[in-house]
């Protein structure tokens, strides 16, 4: 009997997604092709199991805009507190909205989606060209299962879309609806401000109406509605959403009653009503007075497609110096802030890192209960103890204080297998071979071990071990002796020397488990240097680490095809120490994931270990790689400025320090090299020799004052300096640069 034929190989998911997207006709195209079942790409495992459905009589509240303002404000505030959703009625008369809106806009969106496939395909694409896009599933390539919808997305603020990019069949109607929906948003924000006891304009004055995105969803008829979803359960990230929906229905809201029971409530369409809901940002700004709740769109057995238009209102001010968080008027010693502050760049970055269903922005920015009770007081008390994290250990603590607890710090990427390690560059090789090896690792990894530097550069065999031992000796002095050196005066106020715990202590959302000595070795006052470190730390930094950095920059210059001195001319040195010991720190970090801002870092570490580097392989998979200490080796890494100066030839990568169960504290000394000329007429950017019409500059020029100002505005984990100075796609153009010498910059490692 013949053996059965093996099953035909199935295309992998990525290939299926690519093929679906490249059809350029969306889910509507699947329906037009005559599918009789839901393709596997769209199947959601048991999508309706998370909570039961509420009885048919349960519905979201209604707010009547024809009521006197105090009553309408009270009703809106009550609904926003208890439900996060409500129907808004009688807005046509109150706000002079034409009676045929939003119906005309909904009909126009339906008309576009029901054009012939070739007409729709001409508009399909994921790039928001001119502020407009038409595609299926914004998170198609990130979500575990695609949803049964197609979408037109239009940006109305802070940058307004080019109207010519909006499909002609619905252009006039959606532009008209934007005007009316904005009037609705303004009225509702006024009511919700009053409901918080604030002036009616309070929320609007924080620019909450200036950022606007209109999302026009089309949910085609589905052959198996029980197997897929229109939109998965999620919360809206913004301030406020104004939703217009047709008569088909499908929206459900997750409501938790006073006894803690959760149910999915059908938001059945109400003629003449809009749906209003609170977003994550409004919950944060209201300090939990208002609630952003989960909602979803389910498919049903209707023989007609469903259409909805949502307008999401967000803050329009997006600069790195503009921070959002609980409104100051709503916090006090009795009602402390429940969330930390953040920029919109950080907020949107956190949102777009995940698929729609896995958003948890509220938790991402929330303080723990004990931190919220009086975090500022706890930080002040910790800092004023003048003994750092080492002092906590000396006090006999058996667990980590909430100030130091990092929520799931190890979830961002998996660990690489133990055999994976950063590359090694051997300084005893002939110069061309060493330069090629250094350049290759700087391109692909951004980190490498450096060996055989002692003999090649005449570094004494007992360095950096002597400097590491001296640093350990200082940190293990009695607390009163350490406290005499403690302070945040920095280079200017402390004679070039300072000792403290966490340079970003009062800015970061969570404190890390380390103490540091910072030394600016460009003329530090010896009197300020702790006696235990006086001889060995300057010897290591001023002489030997500088010699190593000089050799490295010559090799990396050659690797770029430049003369060896092109990146050299180091003029000053800063040495810093991280001292960490954790008796019980499963949720603590030594240093959070970050990139170094400077040109080059030379790191000496002891045998304890803990450094990890985030490496992305050629297939786009990211892993955290342990940088295990190698006897006699230093660790070298590329900083942000070198990535910029090399025009992305070299790579500055994320790294972090994790805690472990060693019974001995970890000690490291990092020396950071950066441009030393910092006047307002001295600019940095891609090296002129590395740019051309074929390889235009990827970054704009900047002064070191601007660069350092950007760095110090945020906590360590939220730096994105590469992106801050990067041209948008297609914006690069050739400029001239004033290239100057490289000297040290202080940073943690």
* Mean pLDDT across 540-560: 92
Per-residue pLDDT tens over the stretch 90-139: 999 999 999 999 999 999 999 999 999 999 999 999 887 789 999 999 88
Within 13 Å of residue 387, how many CA atoms lie on the same side as its CB?
A: 13
Q: What is the pLDDT of residue 1?
A: 41
Alpha helix stretches (DSSP H) within 312-403: 344-352, 361-364, 369-384, 388-394
* pLDDT value at 746 more than 70: no
- Mean pLDDT calculated for residue range 13-18: 91
Given a cut of 80, whether residue 82 has pLDDT beyond it is yes
- Is the model's pLDDT at 7 over the cut of 70? no
Mean pLDDT (whole number) for 308-312: 98
Give the tens place of pLDDT for each residue, 258-300: 888 899 999 999 999 999 999 999 999 999 999 999 999 999 8
Q: 710-722: per-residue pLDDT in tens?
A: 777 665 654 567 8
pLDDT confidence tier of residue 521, bands split at 50, 70 and 90: low
pLDDT band of 181, cuts 50, 70, 90: very high
Output 339 or 219, whichever has higher pLDDT.
219
pTM: predicted TM-score of the whole model, two decimal places: 0.54
Which whole number is the average pLDDT over 481-506? 75
Which domains does the chain possess? 38-50+62-314 (2.60.120.330), 390-725 (2.60.120.330)
Mean pLDDT, residues 245-270: 93
Reported as a pLDDT band with limits 50, 70 and 90, residue 2 is: very low
- Return the higher-pLDDT residue of 622 and 112: 112
d(CA 147, CA 233): 11
Kindly tell me the sign of the dihedral angle through the C-alpha atoms of 382, 384, 388, 390: negative
**Confidence band (pLDDT; 50, 70, 90) for 522?**
low
| Mean pLDDT of the chain, nearest integer | 85
pLDDT at 740: 30
Q: How far apart are CA 283 and CA 414, in angstroms?
A: 32
Averaged pLDDT for residues 407-422? 77
Contacts 24+ apart (CB under 8 A), 350-353: 351/237
Rank 306-315, 478-487, 532-541 by mean pLDDT and report only the highest: 306-315
Mean pLDDT of 192-199: 96
Is the pLDDT assigned to residue 737 strictly greater than 80? no
Mean pLDDT of 638-645: 94
Question: From CA 746, how far away is CA 708, in angstroms rounded?
Answer: 10
The pLDDT of residue 493 is above 60: no
Average pLDDT over residues 545-553: 93
The pLDDT value given to residue 349: 81
561: pLDDT confidence band, cut at 50, 70 and 90?
A: very high
SS (H, E, C) 57-89: CCCCCEEECCCCHHHHHHHHHHHHHHCCEEEEE
The mean per-residue pLDDT over the stretch 515-535 comes to 78
Q: Assess whether pLDDT exceeds 80 at residue 524.
A: no
State residue 588's pLDDT score.
Answer: 62
What's residue 745's pLDDT?
Answer: 31
Per-residue pLDDT for 589 more than 90?
no
Distance CA 741, CA 568 (A): 7
| Range in 177-181, 436-440, 607-611 the model is least confident about | 607-611
Q: Which structure tokens are listed for 113?
A: 């989606």
135-156: average pLDDT: 93
Using 50, 70 and 90 to split pLDDT, how confident is the model at 487? Answer: confident
């Amino acid at each position: 009997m013949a053996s059965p034929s093996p099953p035909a190989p199935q295309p992998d998911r990525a290939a299926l997604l690519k093929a679906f997207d490249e059809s350029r006709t969306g889910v509507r195209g699947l329906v037009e092709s005559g599918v009789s079942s839901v393709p596997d790409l769209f199947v959601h495992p048991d999508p309706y199991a998370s909570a039961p459905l509420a009885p048919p009589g349960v519905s979201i509240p209604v707010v009547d805009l024809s009521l006197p303002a105090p009553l309408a404000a009270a009703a809106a505030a009550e609904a926003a507190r208890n439900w996060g959703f409500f129907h808004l009625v009688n807005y046509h008369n109150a706000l002079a909205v034409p009676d045929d809106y939003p119906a005309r806009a909904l009909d126009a969106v339906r008309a576009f989606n029901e054009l012939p496939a070739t007409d729709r395909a001409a508009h399909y694409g994921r790039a928001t060209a001119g502020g407009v896009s038409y595609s299926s599933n914004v998170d198609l390539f990130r979500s575990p299962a695609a949803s049964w919808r197609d979408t037109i997305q239009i940006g109305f603020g802070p940058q307004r879309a080019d109207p010519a990019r909006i499909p002609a069949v619905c252009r006039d109607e959606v532009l008209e609806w934007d005007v009316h929906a904005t009037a609705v948003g303004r009225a509702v924000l006024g009511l919700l401000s009053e409901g918080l006891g604030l002036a009616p304009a309070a929320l609007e004055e924080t620019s909450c109406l200036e950022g606007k995105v209109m999302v026009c969803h089309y949910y085609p008829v589905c052959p198996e509605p029980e197997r897929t979803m229109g939109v998965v359960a999620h919360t809206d990230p913004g301030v406020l959403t104004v939703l217009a929906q047709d008569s088909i229905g499908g929206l459900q809201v997750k409501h938790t009653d006073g006894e803690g029971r959760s149910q999915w409530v059908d938001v059945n369409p109400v003629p003449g009503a809009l749906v209003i809901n609170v977003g994550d940002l409004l919950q944060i700004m209201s300090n939990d007075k208002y609630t952003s709740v989960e909602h979803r769109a389910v498919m049903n057995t209707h023989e007609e497609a469903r259409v909805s238009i949502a307008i999401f209102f967000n803050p329009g001010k997006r600069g790195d110096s503009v921070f959002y968080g609980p409104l100051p008027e709503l916090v006090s010693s009795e009602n402390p802030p429940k969330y930390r502050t953040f920029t919109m760049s950080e907020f949107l970055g956190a949102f777009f890192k995940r698929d729609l269903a896995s958003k948890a922005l509220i938790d991402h920015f929330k303080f723990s209960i004990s931190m919220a009770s009086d975090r500022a007081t706890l930080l002040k008390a910790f800092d004023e103890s003048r003994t750092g994290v080492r002092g906590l250990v000396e006090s006999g603590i058996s667990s980590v204080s909430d100030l130091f607890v990092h929520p799931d710090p190890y979830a961002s990427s998996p660990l690489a297998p133990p055999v994976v390690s950063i590359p090694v560059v051997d300084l005893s090789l002939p110069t061309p071979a060493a330069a090629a090896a250094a350049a290759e690792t700087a391109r692909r990894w951004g980190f490498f071990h450096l060996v055989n530097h002692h003999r090649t550069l005449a570094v004494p065999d007992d360095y950096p071990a002597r400097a590491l031992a001296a640093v350990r000796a200082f940190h293990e002095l009695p607390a009163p002796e350490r406290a005499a050196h403690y302070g945040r005066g920095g280079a200017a106020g402390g004679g070039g020397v300072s000792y403290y715990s966490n340079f970003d202590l009062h800015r970061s959302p969570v404190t890390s488990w380390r103490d540091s000595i910072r030394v600016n070795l460009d003329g530090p006052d010896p009197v300020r240097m702790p006696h235990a470190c006086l001889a060995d730390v300057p010897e290591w930094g001023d002489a030997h680490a500088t010699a190593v950095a000089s050799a490295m920059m010559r090799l990396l210059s050659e690797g770029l095809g430049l003369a060896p001195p092109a990146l050299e001319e180091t003029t000053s040195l800063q040495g810093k120490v991280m001292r960490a010991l954790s008796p019980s720190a499963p949720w603590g970090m030594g240093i959070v994931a970050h990139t170094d801002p400077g040109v080059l870092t030379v790191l000496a570490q002891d045998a304890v270990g803990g450094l990890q580097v985030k490496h992305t392989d050629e297939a786009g998979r990211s892993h955290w790689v342990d940088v295990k200490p190698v006897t006699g080796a230093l660790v070298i890494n590329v900083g942000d400025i070198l990535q910029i100066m090399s025009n992305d030839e070299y790579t500055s990568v994320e790294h972090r320090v994790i805690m472990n169960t060693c019974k001995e504290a970890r000690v490291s000394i990092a020396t950071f090299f950066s441009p030393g000329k910092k006047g307002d007429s001295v600019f940095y950017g891609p090296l002129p020799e590395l740019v051309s019409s074929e390889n235009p500059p990827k970054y704009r020029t900047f002064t070191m004052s601007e660069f350092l100002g950007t760095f110090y505005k945020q906590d360590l984990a939220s730096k994105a300096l590469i992106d801050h100075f990067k041209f948008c796609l297609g914006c690069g153009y050739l400029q001239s640069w004033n290239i100057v010498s490289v000297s040290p910059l202080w940073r943690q490692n």
